Amino acid sequence: MRSIRAATVFAATVIVAAQVSAQEPAASESADRAGVAPGRLEEMGPADEGIIFTRDHGGKLDLFVGRIADGRVERLFAASDIERRGAAWSPAANRLLYVESTPEGSKLILFDPETGERTLIHQVLDPDHNFWSVWAPDGKHLAFTRPTNLPDRHRAVREYDLATGTHHRFGSATYTMEFLRPSYAPDSRTAVAQRRGELFAQQIWRLERGKMAQQITRPTERYDHSAVFTRDGEWIVFSSRIGDAPNRLNRIRPDGSDRRPLHYHRGGDARSPAASPTRDEFAFVSERSGRPDIYIASLEGEAIRNLTRSIHRNEKNPIWSSDGNRLTFVLNAARRVGGAQSRVVVSSRSGVILFETRGRNPSFMSVRP
């Protein structure tokens, strides 16, 4: 995997660590760095592995990169009036996808760290639009959504082809369908997304290039959401609830058959499943202990374990590293202890905290060693 040479690749657009230190004391970052237990350094991962995340800096959102190996944090681009957020890195494409926001609207940007080239993928007039952008595993395509206030004919998931520089409607059945949260299958040809239905109902649909969208989950009065494929593409895991009942985890075949509840979450709300890319297991958020913690379980619902066991902090949105040995997630203080700012955490699969700093919306990313 090629690394990002921050000082030379980004040229004038990147601020190196010394400049960051001048704006924000280095002690604040070194205090974020958690110690690693003796004998666990192998869980740190490769030297060029890091995370990219969003942080409020000087009253504006911007992108920062953190190196797991030494805890160093750098601002990615030079300061400007543009807000940047929602970054996603593709190791296969060696590209970064992120959102630029101004009062005039939002832009979805593709960034090449080797050349510094920025490509506009799409822009909308809504300055707060969440494109729900996601990479295909092969790095050749990416998918995103358009605002709900557009005319019906402009809705649905769009897919961008890096080879041709064009985008097209991705598996839409009609002009009136509104999809959220697309997620690709391992084969990079199909995806799942949740379709907004009537009132608070949502269902999971399968999208395939050049074909009609297929509804996967029923009945329609459920709120089915946050669907992901397992590493072999044989199952889709998702959260589901009826009315105000707690979320429950389920799995279903990609053709909509053989829906099965996952019974190990009966003690509380369970949501945000993230399938491991290398093992038949997944991480998810559960409140079975009384507050949101990150858990890991097998696909059969066995060998469940609490990864975080936080007492005064709440976790959300787990994301796996490409080798399945580390997770990054967002941590918030519990409301009763003051509700501190969101923090980004990287943990080994065994629960050792490897990195922690102020921020949100993390994504694993290769960085300069």
More confident residue, 145 or 119: 119
Can you give the pTM of this predicted structure? 0.85
Distance of alpha carbon 77 from alpha carbon 200, whole angstroms = 39
- The vertex-54 CA angle with 52 and 58, nearest 5°, equals 130
Q: What pLDDT is attached to residue 143?
A: 96
For the cut 90, the answer to whether the pLDDT of residue 345 exceeds it is yes
* Closest to 167 in 3D by CA, of 139, 194, 144, 148: 144
- Please give the share of the chain, as a percent, with pLDDT higher than 90: 52
Q: What pLDDT is attached to residue 172?
A: 66
Taking residues 346-366, what's their average pLDDT?
94
Residue range 240-261, pLDDT digits in tens: 988 888 899 999 999 999 999 8
Taking residues 3-7, what's their average pLDDT?
39
Residue range 25-64, pLDDT digits in tens: 333 343 344 444 444 555 778 888 999 999 998 889 999 9
Mean pLDDT of the chain: 82
Taking residues 306-323, what's their average pLDDT?
87
Place of tokens 């297991």: 281
Instruction: Calculate the alpha carbon distances from 278 to 118, 211, 356, 361 in Å.
Output: 32, 29, 24, 23
pLDDT band at 149 (very low <50, low <70, confident <90, very high): low
Q: What pLDDT is attached to residue 40?
A: 52
More confident residue, 183 or 23: 183
Residue type, 270: A
Q: What pLDDT is attached to residue 164?
A: 96
Task: Tokens for 3, please give them.
Answer: 């690394």
Taking residues 11-31, what's their average pLDDT?
35
For the cut 90, the answer to whether the pLDDT of residue 137 exceeds it is yes
Quickly list DSSP for 202-230: EEEEEEETTS--EE----TTSEEEEEEE-
More confident residue, 4 or 315: 315
Residue range 104-114, pLDDT digits in tens: 999 999 999 88
Q: What pLDDT is attached to residue 11?
A: 35
- Please give the share of the chain, as a percent, with pLDDT higher than 70: 80
